[in-house]
Structure 1
Amino acid sequence: MTAAPWALLSGAVKGVAKKYSQDRSAALSVAGGRAVVLVVADGHGSAAHFRSDLGASWAVEEFTACARAFAYEAVRVGGDASGWTGLREEARRLPQQVGHRWHEWALLHDRNSPAHGARSHRAGRAETERDRKEPPDLAAYGSTLIGAVLTERMVFCWQLGDGDIVFVDDAGVPHTPLSTGPDMGDETDSLCAPEPWRKMRSHWQPFTGGAPPCVLLSTDGLSKSFADHQGFLDFATGLSGRAAEQGVAAVQSQLPDWLARAAQFSGDDTTLVGAIAAPARRSDES
């Protein structure tokens, strides 16, 4: 058997009445098509987070850079179980790598263009030694982050803040590996917090038999458009079923309309990326 290629899905729409979207995303094949990197980030977007589009962009950029290197290692290890422990340790380090790199971008940007004005003019007084030692408030750049790395052998995923990761297996059964239950209000974990990697959830799953699942990542604008969580899961399973029946290209062509309809209900930016493994071809096929 040869490695199964991955067919990718990607779509995003701006929230109703919003000037521009705070969501960012990426879906790309790496390692000669033997692995996929998926990521979505949702800038918080409120007045306190008025630069969160930048924060979401950095989240996607830095996760993609770190996850790409990790994906090559995951492909190299493959099905060799003796290498899985080291790979999982590397996966546990990835959130801190991404968090540090994101904070470096935010600190540099804030240093060159302070989000809350020059510190020396704060409260109409001269800058003090305490001001110079106090870390800047990075809330202006706040963003969530959801990412995944898939290979033909396994999937790794990470999540900070709201949004959803759904696996749909070849029997059409959905699974949400990092769900923490219903959201409580609008509060969410964020990259702008100190040491955000400590709150990042992670999941690892080897594919021990059967086809790899359909993997979908979405910002919370999608799930919030449904009356309940089951409705959202039904959407995910329906999307996976249509891809199997009609082909991924047909689903991709309809995805913008589906997301636009969802955004009308939630009012929020709505973004989805996904990967579906095509059936593996046998090496003796022409």
Structure 2
Amino acid sequence: MNATGTSTVAWELLDGGVKGVAKKYSQDRGRALTTADGRAVVLTVADGHGSRAHFRSELGARWAVEAFTDSARIYAHEVVRRGQDAANWPRLLAEARSLPQQVVHAWRRRVLIHEANSPAHGGNGNGSGSADAAPGGTAGSAPEADLAVYGSTLVGAVITERLLVCWQLGDGDIVLVDQDGTAHMPFYTGPDMGDETESLCEPEAWRKARLHWQPLTGGPPPGVLISTDGLSKSFADHEGFLAFATGVRSRAASHGVAAVQAQLPDWLGHAAKYSGDDATLAGAIPAPGPGTTPAHPLTDTH
């Protein structure tokens, strides 16, 4: 941040999604936006589970993105306001760790409101799923809502000039691409071994959220790409997916982010043909100019 209090980093955004082959509609949702007068970016994608047991998961994904965006905007403003002073980072880290619980509670409240008016398994819709119920349950003696019907994963990030913070619950991918083309995934633990994934619909789901906290000091910041797993599953191996992410930033540098955004639907559509799944991406690419570079990342996996 310069002497006038404005950020020295400008961000250009990517945002797109396509439905999987032979699917009637996409279970994914995503969003990319700037906030705090352009000094912060919020990225998020959610992937509704989509199976017969999760027949309202497109709603769950939509509300996951809304709940994360609401909480992340508030957090981003606090990071912009207090993040310049490293003495404030321990407190901001503690707030980052508490954000998933806020998001899960907000998501469940929205699900329960919908259940109260339109029960997933029938009923008179007379409010049996009260929005005032404790998260994960309903009020009084009414039957408990089936949250699994709305099951969804969630991946999100907040980026400012001084800090990069990422969260993940369930499958999906976050790729950080440095200016020199080096790409890495803070939460990558190896190839997926099946279709089971952690979900917002699980009891105390926030306890399973993973956190990546990364101060940014000196030099240009990384580009940040987050996506549902329908994109990464379209590649033959992990290295191919990283090469795609590196290519996105390289093409943005050579042709401009607007050109990449224009091609994004075609790229995602091509991926969906191979994976058969919905594919959604949200990203932030730092515009050319002075900025910051990664240092001392902290990744919380529990």
Quick one: which of 177, 181, 191 aligns to 1:168?
177
Equivalent residue, structure 1, for 2:21: 16
Q: SS in structure 2 opposite 1:185?
A: coil
Please report how far the alpha carbon of residue 281 of structure 1 lies from its aligned counterpart in structure 2 after TM superposition: 6.0
Query: Does 2:121 correspond to 1:116?
Result: yes
Q: Aligned partners of 2:202 and 2:180: how far apart in 1?
A: 40
Q: Aligned partners of 2:144 and 2:94: how far apart in 1?
A: 30
Equivalent residue, structure 2, for 1:41: 46
Equivalent residue, structure 2, for 1:219: 228
Equivalent residue, structure 1, for 2:68: 63
Question: Which digits, 9 at most, give the CA deviation of each residue in 1:73-114, with x for residues without a partner?
Answer: 001123210000110011011000000011111122122222
Please report how far the alpha carbon of residue 134 of structure 1 lies from its aligned counterpart in structure 2 after TM superposition: 5.1
Q: Determine what percentage of the aligned residue pairs are the same residue.
A: 66
Question: Cα 1:281–1:181, aligned 2, differ >3 Å: closer, same or farther?
Answer: closer
Q: Aligned partners of 2:280 and 2:110: how far apart in 1?
A: 23
Q: Aligned partners of 1:244 and 1:280: how far apart in 2?
A: 12
Q: SS in structure 2 opposite 1:231?
A: helix
Q: Aligned partners of 1:30 and 1:180: how far apart in 2?
A: 31
Q: Aligned partners of 2:86 and 2:52: how far apart in 1?
A: 48
Q: SS in structure 2 opposite 1:132?
A: coil
TM value normalised by structure 1? 0.91
Equivalent residue, structure 1, for 2:289: 280
Please say if residues 223 and 286 of structure 2, whose CA atoms lie closer than 8 Å, have aligned partners that are also in contact.
Answer: yes
Quick one: which of 197, 214, 217 aligns to 2:206?
197
Question: Which digits, 9 at most, give the CA deviation of each residue in 1:98-137, with x for residues without a partner?
Answer: 0001111112212222212239xxxxxxxxxxx9365322
Q: Aligned partners of 1:280 and 1:173: how far apart in 2?
A: 19
Quick one: which of 252, 262, 275 aligns to 2:261?
252
Q: SS in structure 1 opposite 2:37?
A: helix
* Amino acid in structure 1 at the alignment position of 2:85: D
Equivalent residue, structure 2, for 1:143: 152
Q: SS in structure 2 opposite 1:63?
A: helix
Query: Does 2:51 correspond to 1:78?
Result: no
Question: Which digits, 9 at most, give the CA deviation of each residue in 1:22-68, with x for residues without a partner?
Answer: 10011000011110000000001110000001000100001000000
Q: Aligned partners of 1:281 and 1:190: how far apart in 2?
A: 39
Equivalent residue, structure 1, for 2:294: none
Q: Aligned partners of 1:109 and 1:100: how far apart in 2?
A: 14
Equivalent residue, structure 2, for 1:128: none
Aligned length: 272
Query: Does 2:197 correspond to 1:188?
Result: yes
- Structure number with higher relative contact order (C-alpha < 8 Å, ≥ 6 residues apart): 1
Quick one: which of 231, 245, 264 aligns to 1:236?
245
Query: Does 2:275 correspond to 1:266?
Result: yes
Q: Aligned partners of 1:169 and 1:5: how far apart in 2?
A: 15
Structure 2: state its 5+ residue gaps: 125-139, 292-302
* Amino acid in structure 1 at the alignment position of 2:241: F
Please say if residues 173 and 228 of structure 2, whose CA atoms lie closer than 8 Å, have aligned partners that are also in contact.
Answer: yes
Q: Aligned partners of 2:193 and 2:149: how far apart in 1?
A: 22
* Amino acid in structure 1 at the alignment position of 2:224: V
Q: Please tell me the root mean square deviation across aligned C-alpha atoms, in Å.
A: 1.7
Q: Aligned partners of 1:251 and 1:136: how far apart in 2?
A: 42
The structure number with the bigger radius of gyration is 1
